[in-house]
Amino acid sequence: MKGRLNALFLVGRIGTVVFGFHFGLQYGRALWGDRDIWWTPMAMAIPLQETRQTFNLFVSGELLQNHIERGSLSATDSKGRSYPVAADDIKVRINNWYKIKASFLHFAVFAEILLGGSIACLIMGTIELFKKRKNPNLPQPEI
């Protein structure tokens, strides 16, 4: 039975590779991921009225929505004609990077917990392996 691995060492070795890779992947995506691809697509842009819970936009110290309701904002079209800005003219795209980053870090925490358990198993299995090599009279595990 010489040369056989014990269960703790085997679980620790496999778990360290699998969960270490998963932790590194999720943590790396959270730190160095592409922040610019998580914007709301223009086709799904949100009307200004639906953004009140997320943010407020002020123009000259007054809410943009109040300017729109009063008709105090104007824009110029491609032919140079001025027209009042309506609520339908304004669309909002939101960057969802922070929500995505939080989900990456959430999964990285679980992978890190499993990685820590795997490293503990690896260390205990390695210690057990060396103890048995020093004292060959100890019973060898059957795997």
Q: Where are the domains of the chain?
A: 1-38+96-143, 40-94
| Residue type at position 113 | I
| Residue type at position 129 | L
The model's pTM: 0.67
The per-residue pLDDT for 131 is 83
The per-residue pLDDT for 4 is 61
- Beta-carbon contacts of 126 under 8 Å, excluding residues fewer than 6 positions away, are 9, 12
Evaluate whether 125 touches 6 at the Cβ level (below 8 Å).
yes
- Beta-carbon contacts of 40 under 8 Å, excluding residues fewer than 6 positions away, are 46, 92, 93, 94, 95, 96
pLDDT tens, N- to C-terminus, the chain (143 residues): 455 668 999 999 999 999 999 999 999 999 998 888 999 899 999 998 888 888 889 988 999 989 998 989 999 999 999 999 998 889 999 999 999 999 999 999 999 999 999 999 999 999 988 887 777 666 665 65
